[in-house]
Structure 1
Amino acid sequence: MASRTRKSERRTEALTRERILEAAVELLDATGEGGLTFRALTERLVTGPGAIYWHVANKGELLDAATDTVVAAALAIEPAESADSPQGEIRAVALGLFDAIDEHPWLAAQLATQLSRSPWGAVAPRILESIGRQVRALGVPEGSQFTATSALMHYILGAAGQNAANGRVLGPGVDRSEFLDATSRAWKELDPDDFPFTRAVADQMRAHDDQAEFLAGIDLILAGITAVHPPTT
Structure 2
Amino acid sequence: MATRTRRSQRRTEALSRERIVEAAVELLDAAGEGGLTFRALTERLATGPGAIYWHVANKSELLDAATDAVVAAALAIEPAESPDAPRGKIRAVALGLFDAIDEHPWLATQLATQLSRSPWGSVTPRIFESIGRQVGAVGVPEGSQFTATSALVHYILGAAGQNAANGRVLGPDVDRGDFLDAVSKAWEELDPDDYPFTRSVADQMREHDDREQFLAGIDLVLAGITALHLPNGQASAPPAT
- Normalised by the shorter chain, which TM-score bucket? over 0.9
- Same amino acid, percent of matched pairs: 85
- Whether the aligned pair in 2 keeps the contact of 1:14 and 1:46 (CA below 8 Å) is no
- Whether the aligned pair in 2 keeps the contact of 1:184 and 1:206 (CA below 8 Å) is yes
Aligned amino acid, residue 221 of structure 1: V
TM-score (norm 1): 0.93
Q: Deviations over 1:64-99 (max 9, x none)?
A: 000000000000122334343111010000000000
TM-score (norm 2): 0.90
Provide the residue aligned with 1:126 in structure 2: 126
- Compared CA separation, residues 182 and 14, structure 1 to 2 (3 A): farther
Q: Please tell me the root mean square deviation across aligned C-alpha atoms, in Å.
A: 1.7
Provide the C-alpha distance between the structure 1 equivalents of 2:78 and 2:131, rounded to a whole number of angstroms.
15
Provide the C-alpha distance between the structure 2 equivalents of 1:12 and 1:44, rounded to a whole number of angstroms.
15
- Whether the aligned pair in 1 keeps the contact of 2:189 and 2:199 (CA below 8 Å) is yes
- Compared CA separation, residues 184 and 52, structure 1 to 2 (3 A): same
Provide the C-alpha distance between the structure 1 equivalents of 2:196 and 2:120, rounded to a whole number of angstroms.
45
Provide the residue aligned with 1:5 in structure 2: none
**Aligned runs of 1:66-77 on 2, under 5 Å?**
66-77=66-77
1:149 maps to 2:134? no
- Whether the aligned pair in 1 keeps the contact of 2:33 and 2:106 (CA below 8 Å) is yes
Provide the residue aligned with 2:166 in structure 1: 166
Provide the residue aligned with 1:60 in structure 2: 60
Provide the residue aligned with 1:51 in structure 2: 51
Aligned amino acid, residue 222 of structure 2: L
Provide the C-alpha distance between the structure 1 equivalents of 2:55 and 2:178, rounded to a whole number of angstroms.
48
Provide the residue aligned with 1:35 in structure 2: 35
- Whether the aligned pair in 2 keeps the contact of 1:13 and 1:19 (CA below 8 Å) is no
Provide the C-alpha distance between the structure 1 equivalents of 2:28 and 2:13, rounded to a whole number of angstroms.
20
1:15 maps to 2:15? yes
Provide the residue aligned with 2:186 in structure 1: 186
1:196 maps to 2:196? yes
Provide the residue aligned with 1:207 in structure 2: 207
Which contiguous aligned blocks of 4+ residues in structure 1 show a shift greater than 4 angstroms?
11-14
Provide the C-alpha distance between the structure 1 equivalents of 2:195 and 2:83, rounded to a whole number of angstroms.
40
Q: Deviations over 1:120-161 (max 9, x none)?
A: 000000000000000011111111100000000000000000
Provide the C-alpha distance between the structure 1 equivalents of 2:109 and 2:181, rounded to a whole number of angstroms.
29
Provide the C-alpha distance between the structure 2 equivalents of 1:14 and 1:160, rounded to a whole number of angstroms.
36
Tell me the secondary structure at the aligned position of residue 72 of structure 2.
helix
Provide the residue aligned with 2:102 in structure 1: 102
- Whether the aligned pair in 1 keeps the contact of 2:12 and 2:54 (CA below 8 Å) is no
Number of residues paired by the alignment?
225
Provide the residue aligned with 1:4 in structure 2: none
Aligned amino acid, residue 107 of structure 1: L
- Compared CA separation, residues 13 and 197, structure 1 to 2 (3 A): farther
Provide the C-alpha distance between the structure 2 equivalents of 1:215 and 1:59, rounded to a whole number of angstroms.
35
Provide the C-alpha distance between the structure 1 equivalents of 2:86 and 2:221, rounded to a whole number of angstroms.
13
- Whether the aligned pair in 2 keeps the contact of 1:190 and 1:199 (CA below 8 Å) is yes
- Whether the aligned pair in 1 keeps the contact of 2:78 and 2:89 (CA below 8 Å) is no
Provide the C-alpha distance between the structure 1 equivalents of 2:179 and 2:14, rounded to a whole number of angstroms.
44
The gaps in structure 2 that reach 5 residues or longer are 1-7, 236-241
- Whether the aligned pair in 2 keeps the contact of 1:86 and 1:137 (CA below 8 Å) is yes
Aligned amino acid, residue 122 of structure 2: A
Provide the residue aligned with 2:85 in structure 1: 85
Provide the C-alpha distance between the structure 2 equivalents of 1:89 and 1:44, rounded to a whole number of angstroms.
37
- Whether the aligned pair in 1 keeps the contact of 2:12 and 2:51 (CA below 8 Å) is no
